[in-house]
Amino acid sequence: MSTRLIYFAWVRERIGKPQEDVELPAGIETVADLLRWLKSRGEEYEHALQYPDVIRVAIDQEHVEHREKISGAREIALFPPMTGG
Amino acid sequence: MPGAVVPTVRIQAEDFDVAAEIAKITQGRADIGAVVTFSGLCRDEAGRLAALELEHYPGMAEAEIGRIAVEAVGRWPLQGLTAIHRHGRIAPGENIVLVVAASTHRQAAFEAANFLMDYLKSRAPFWKKEHLADGSQGSWVDAKEADDEAASRWKQAAPKRN
């Protein structure tokens, strides 16, 4: 089952695309695992996810912590801290 | 009657009319004693900025502000609550965000509007990018730690019911 990844703001700019569908390899169980795996996919990912602690994540449009399990997620969004208002 | 009100949440590119939004809440009723509105506007930073570009996460932006608004309705005795957030390119002097909170008494309205803004700033998926007055593209606005602190203070504060 493929998972849709969506990127916003400078995460989107650095990765160079707004979204993509990926097949997650076995062993990727949590948000932290996902960030670590993505970071290894190339220079642009390394640049975007250089400091994984600052990256905010939403699963199916709800904020989650990095320790959250991602099994069953249809849509995972990665973005910087929010600056609306 | 806490919980009885269904908040209005809108995410839109176009501007909003503050007076019209107040009227939508107050029209035809005589039980509202206090309406607090907060409008957030785009500043030019002493001439440095030509505009702000507001990127958002469609779907989640509505959902997240909706969740915050429902919590506000549960914590304060409100008779109306509206939150509108714009996206896209916004010039200095233009509106970005509006919160309208209506209650019998002012304290609940003030606090609910304040709570909604504090949470919205740190949890609603919007990001501001600067367009500079000299025509160049500026950088993404950094999140402020003070905004996270402003939101976290509501975790300690007991809800006020009068």
Give me the residue spans of the domains in chain B.
Answer: 8-155
DSSP-assigned beta bridge partners for residue B129: B53, B140
Is A40 part of any domain?
yes
CATH (domain of A68) = 3.10.20.30
CB contacts of B40 in chain A (<8 Å) are 85
* Strands A56-59 and A75-79, sheet pairing: antiparallel
CA torsion sign, B146 to B147 to B150 to B155?
negative
Find, in chain A, the residue whose alpha carbon is nearest to that of B39. Answer: A85
Residue A40 has a CB neighbour count (10 Å cut-off) of 9
Residue-wise pLDDT for A44-69, tens only, equals 999 999 999 999 999 999 999 999 99
Q: Which of residues 34-73 of A touch B (CB under 8 A)?
A: 58, 61-63
> Is A65 within a domain?
yes
Q: Return the CATH number of B8-155, one of 3.20.20.210, 3.90.380.10, 3.90.1170.40, 3.20.20.100.
A: 3.90.1170.40
pTM of the model: 0.93
- What is the CA angle B137-B140-B141, rounded to 5? 120
* A85 domain-assigned: no
Range of the domain at A42: 2-79
A6: which chain B residues are within 8 Å (Cβ-Cβ)?
A: 57
Per-residue tens of pLDDT for chain B, all 162 residues: 444 699 999 999 999 999 999 999 999 999 999 999 999 999 999 999 999 999 999 999 999 999 999 999 999 999 999 999 999 999 999 999 999 999 999 999 999 999 999 999 999 999 999 999 999 888 999 998 888 888 888 887 655 554
**How far is Cα A70 from Cα B105, in angstroms, rounded to an integer?**
44
A61's torsion region: left (phi>0), alpha (psi -120 to 50) or beta? left
The DSSP line for B117-143 is: HHHHHHHS-EEEEEEETTS-EEEEPPP
B116 — contact with chain A (CB < 8 Å)? no
CA distance A11 to A60: 18
* Interchain pair A77, B125: CB under 8 A: yes
Looking at the structure of chain A, the number of domains it has is 1
